[in-house]
Amino acid sequence: MLMSYFADLPTIQYDGPESRNPLAFRWYDANRNVMGKTMREHLRWAICYWHSFAWAGSDVFGAGTFERPWAPGQPVTPERAQIKLNAAFDFFAKMQAPFFCFHDVDAMADYETIGEYSNNLATIVQAMEGKIAETGVELLWGTANLFGHPRYAAGAATNPEPEIFAWAAHQVRSMLEATHRLKGANYVLWGGREGYDTILNTNLAREMDQLGRFMSMVVEHKHKIGFAGAILIEPKPHEPTKHQYDRDAATVYGFLKRYGLENEVKVNIEANHATLAGNSFEHEIATANALGIMGSIDMNRGDPQNGWDTDQFPNNVPEMTLALYHLLKGGGFTTGGFNFDAKVRRQSMDAEDLFHAHIGGVDVLARSLVNAAAIIEDGTLDHFVAERYAGWNDAFGQNILTGALDLAGTADHAVFSNSNPKAVSGRQEFLENLINNFC
Ligand code: XUL
Ligand code: CO
């Protein structure tokens, strides 16, 4: 047996806020109770395979900087896939991560033919099943990579060529079944190339119908095989294509409603995708809650000074406190969790850097969870919002909402009561100060 790549690094324990040990959690105390659930149960956090184990530390201007025993960025032989699997589960276990996530091609050996795809995936899924049993680390979600291979240059489900649609169907069927076998809690679809580079060559109506049909097929298959987890769409406005159909939570809801899927599919909200769409992260969570489609979260952050999907680890507690507040207000996760869809920087090439990144991210979530729970327990914010809408609980407001009053009846009410209502303060600055008291 080869020595583990992470042999020199410890299992990460909770050490308390006073600790100066950089290889310990200061805020994440897995069994600490917060509003009736442990931190572990609230956060359900996951490490993603792709950024930490499949990416080589390359960028558009330069080659990979990460020297790992499984040679990321080089052709993946079955041996390398196995070395990578061992290292990944060693890391998950040392981080005491409850969950992980992966795409088919992150974990499996390279393939040429469709038959080889099936065989290589089956081999790694079987080995992974053993690792899950051995370590107790669970699968938060599985997904198929429908954007990396050159065949998907013009999209997967939205491709002008139905033979490519069929290839995508094969990958999704395979990974949905693999996720079911590995007892995954969810299945994610990110439409990385479901969009267009130029509208000159694109039939929008045709492509949306193809995507709607694809989603319906996935839902049908989920029920056919008895997969009880949630199907999640991950919104993103653009990158790699100029425009993607799943731009944000509200757009996805409209799409789901149009194809009759709004009770079958939820969203996987990613922080950096939200900001790329011109929304705040908490706006996306609040919107998904309001529409009843909140599923899971891809946790990361962008860089406010540029417009890329930089996928950095979260490090801003006040910002994350608002996200956790909305998550808790929506009842928290059921099948979902916080997947760190985040990568260390290209210059952070040491094994230790992977630890610092995940420790920091988990601690930011834990601290924000405590803050958000304190805001809810204090009640001032909730009370303020409830009072703001109190008029709608009265008979008049209810008569409008239930339809007892129509447009004319409502207008007459204003006329006959000679009404002259005044605007009231929204108290934004007071509320911002209030939140800062908790962060
Ligand atoms: C890309 C992205 C993906 C999805 C899974 O921006 O977020 O990694 O999370 O395909
Ligand atoms: Co993501």
Check whether residue 196 and residue 250 sit in a common domain: yes
Check whether residue 298 and residue 310 sit in a common domain: yes
Distances (CA, A) of 144 to 169, 175, 250: 10, 6, 24
Check whether residue 145 and residue 169 sit in a common domain: yes
Would you state the pLDDT for residue 2? 60
For residue 172, what are its two tokens? 């999704």
For residue 110, what are its two tokens? 């390279």
Please identify, among 332, 354, 378, the residue that sits at the C-terminal boundary of a domain: 378
Check whether residue 209 and residue 187 sit in a common domain: yes
| Residue 18 placed within a domain | no
Residues around ligand 2, an ion, CB closer than 5 A: 270, 298, 341
Check whether residue 220 and residue 368 sit in a common domain: yes
CB 121 within 8 A of CB 174: yes
Please identify, among 378, 398, 413, the residue that sits at the C-terminal boundary of a domain: 378
- Best mutation site among 175, 341, 343 for ligand 1, i.e. most ligand atoms within 8 A of its Cβ? 341
- In sequence order, what are the beta bridge partners of 101? 48, 141
Question: Smallest Cα–Cα separation from 145: which of 111, 173, 171?
Answer: 171
For residue 43, what are its two tokens? 């956060």
For residue 332, what are its two tokens? 């928290």
Distances (CA, A) of 404 to 300, 390, 396, 397, 417: 47, 19, 9, 10, 18
| Residue 432 placed within a domain | yes
Check whether residue 360 and residue 433 sit in a common domain: no
Check whether residue 401 and residue 276 sit in a common domain: no
Nearest ligand to the CA of 55 is 1
- Full-model pTM: 0.98
Spatial CB neighbours of 378, under 8 Å, sequence gap ≥ 6: 438
The per-residue DSSP string of 57-104 comes to S-BTTB------TT-TTS---HHHHHHHHHHHHHHHHHTT-SEEEEEH
Domain residues for the domain of 41 are 33-378
Check whether residue 368 and residue 400 sit in a common domain: no
Check whether residue 93 and residue 133 sit in a common domain: yes
Q: Pick the catalytic residue: 29, 42, 51, 103?
A: 103
Check whether residue 394 and residue 372 sit in a common domain: no
Per-10-residue mean pLDDT of the chain, 439 residues long, equals: 86 98 98 98 99 97 98 98 98 98 98 98 98 98 98 98 98 99 99 97 98 98 98 98 98 98 98 98 98 98 92 98 98 98 98 98 99 98 98 98 98 96 98 98
Would you state the pLDDT for residue 307? 86
Q: Is 110 a catalytic residue?
A: no
| Residue 104 placed within a domain | yes
- Best mutation site among 152, 179, 270, 339 for ligand 1, i.e. most ligand atoms within 8 A of its Cβ? 270
Would you state the pLDDT for residue 3? 75
Check whether residue 229 and residue 340 sit in a common domain: yes
- In sequence order, what are the beta bridge partners of 102? 142
For residue 273, what are its two tokens? 């995708």
| Residue 401 placed within a domain | yes
CATH of the domain at 140: 3.20.20.150
Phi and psi at 340, nearest 5°, equal -75, 85
Check whether residue 368 and residue 397 sit in a common domain: no
Q: Is 106 a catalytic residue?
A: yes
Q: Give the chain's length.
A: 439
Instruction: Determine if the peptide bond prior to 240 is cis (ω within 30°).
Output: yes
* Pocket lining: 106 vs ligand 1, CB cutoff 6 Å: no
**Counted domains in the chain:** 2
- In sequence order, what are the beta bridge partners of 59? 62
**SS3 for 121?**
helix
CB 23 within 8 A of CB 359: yes
| Residue 411 placed within a domain | yes
Please identify, among 331, 353, 378, the residue that sits at the C-terminal boundary of a domain: 378
Question: Smallest Cα–Cα separation from 11: which of 83, 97, 131, 86?
Answer: 97
Cα(386)–Cα(186) distance, rounded to whole angstroms? Answer: 34
| Residue 28 placed within a domain | no
